[in-house]
Amino acid sequence: MKKSYPELIRRLHEIHDLRSAAALLEWDEQVCMPPKGNGARAKQTALLATLAHERQADPGLGECLDGCSRDPKLSASQKALVREARRDYDKAVKIPGDLVHEISETSVKAHAVWVEARKKSSFRLFAPLLSRLVSLKKEEAEALGYPEGGVPYDALLDQFEPGATVRELDPVFKRTRDITIAAIRSIAESRRKPDVRILRRRYSPERQEKLGRLILDYMHYDLTAGRLDRSVHPFTTGIDVQDVRITTRYEERWLPGGLFGTIHEAGHALYEQALPLAHSGTPLAEALSMGFHESQSRLWENQIGRSFAFWKFLFPRLRRLFTDTMAGVGLDDFYLAINAVRPSLIRVEADEVTYNLHIIVRYELEQALFARAIPVKDLPALWNSKMKEYLGVVPRNDAEGVLQDIHWSSAGFGYFPTYLLGNLYAAQWMATLRRDFPDLDRRLARGDLQTVKKWLNDKIHRHGRRYPASELCRRVSGETLNPEYFGKYLRAKYGPLYGVSWS
């Protein structure tokens, strides 16, 4: 039996190709599939997921990995590839194939129902399928197992943020919550009040798309290896290193949605496009974790995209695209408006200060669901209660509340915490980037985004999954994840912007 490294690569490429095909079907489902195609698509997606899982859990792959692990001639990169492939194999063999099939098929059905439920603002319509998904993911968590003294939710966290546990994340989230609340209270006392009506003027979606494509060009997103389309919820699909697609959505009366949604998704896409092509189809050409992935999108969206230096460059171009709409609006007023801090209902439209509280709401609800502390039917009321407690706002309906995110319809339990981790990592990366380039603001002000892209390519993207998250974080910044960088970032930016200070 073949146990060579080339045989391992052949097997991994086959698994990758099946998952790429599934990713393409998912992209089509959310971008251009006709509504009546949902039933057939559920079967197609489930079949591909089942076939990929069968190959991922194939004993022959395990034997191949055993043989590679004993090969003294492997390079450091090859050893890292074998290590990560072993991690994926060990997880796959624990999950029954019929469970993988049912989760995949139910998720496709749930997505279609979620879209309809969101339109009708009816959680009751979505609840039965959500309950089923929660039950299925509980089965999966038990099958995967979790650390001694841990909880089932740890198994789901590990799928998006390898090694993460509730025990480790809770203190990080608590410290982030304290940092956020201190910032919000100080900013609320400021006499400076942004005029966000600027952002609610009429901005044609067609010109918004032109603006988005202009920014993608400055960011060096390769459109010969990607696409920009529209969907209900913005997302990025990495079908392959050379086929990374993004979507966004435009609202005529709310410029930031399409603008920053495009930048956010492009941040994800730049990561995927810069993964090592030589290792395509293997774990070394995959993102390290979703926390690292979200750090890319949040860095581009907020640290760069909402910076004064970036808008010194882009603002004249914005005015040329929206001459009448932007009449009488100056750069300072626009900059303050896009950095307005105020509690809001919708996560994807939240400012970067209050955003983390949205994630904490979801993190706590997911934990409670998988600890069997709350039933699915109580989610709308609990959601509204937590929104009032943390953000001081209460959704008027389910569409503004519990139904606003796509993640639960795709069984993405454990994903939300990575958004908060992404914000923390992004602040840490930016502090390091500024140390490496003291003139960074001058570069941004002349439209030089290539400096940022190349730095991220070299420090993070090119490594794929070669290093564990904590090790790569140290390699990039000199220390492990530290939420105090986020606190320093907020004070340095929002203190002067609002004329306030806090410790």
**Helix or strand or coil: residue 479?**
coil
Among residues 370, 357, 409, the alpha carbon closest in space to that of 106 is found at: 409
CB atoms within 10 A of CB 17: 15
Do 248 and 262 touch, CB atoms closer than 8 A? yes
Among the listed residues 84, 105, 265, 294, the single catalytic one is 265
**Helix or strand or coil: residue 247?**
strand
Q: Distance (Å, rounded) from C-alpha 285 to C-alpha 80?
A: 12
**Helix or strand or coil: residue 296?**
helix
End-to-end CA separation in angstroms for the chain: 64
Q: Distance (Å, rounded) from C-alpha 264 to C-alpha 268?
A: 7
**Helix or strand or coil: residue 354?**
coil
29 is catalytic: no
Q: Distance (Å, rounded) from C-alpha 409 to C-alpha 398?
A: 15
- Could you say which DSSP state residue 409 is in? G
Do 455 and 436 touch, CB atoms closer than 8 A? yes
Q: Distance (Å, rounded) from C-alpha 443 to C-alpha 452?
A: 10
Q: Distance (Å, rounded) from C-alpha 283 to C-alpha 89?
A: 11
Sheet holding 226-230, edge to edge: 226-230, 243-248, 236-240
Among residues 327, 279, 331, the alpha carbon closest in space to that of 310 is found at: 331
Position 161, amino acid: E
Do 261 and 248 touch, CB atoms closer than 8 A? yes
Q: What angle do helix axes 450-459 and 417-436 make, rounded to 10 degrees? A: 110
Do 482 and 423 touch, CB atoms closer than 8 A? no
Q: Which residues pair with 92 in a beta bridge?
A: none
Do 172 and 485 touch, CB atoms closer than 8 A? no
Say which residue the tokens 């590679």 belong to. 68
| HEC sequence for 66-86 | HHHHCCCCCCHHHHHHHHHHH
No. of helices (H) and no. of strands (E), the chain: 20, 3
| HEC sequence for 194-246 | CCHHHHHCCCCHHHHHHHHHHHHHHHCCCHHHEEEEECCCCCEEEEECCEEEE
Enumerate the active-site residues. 265
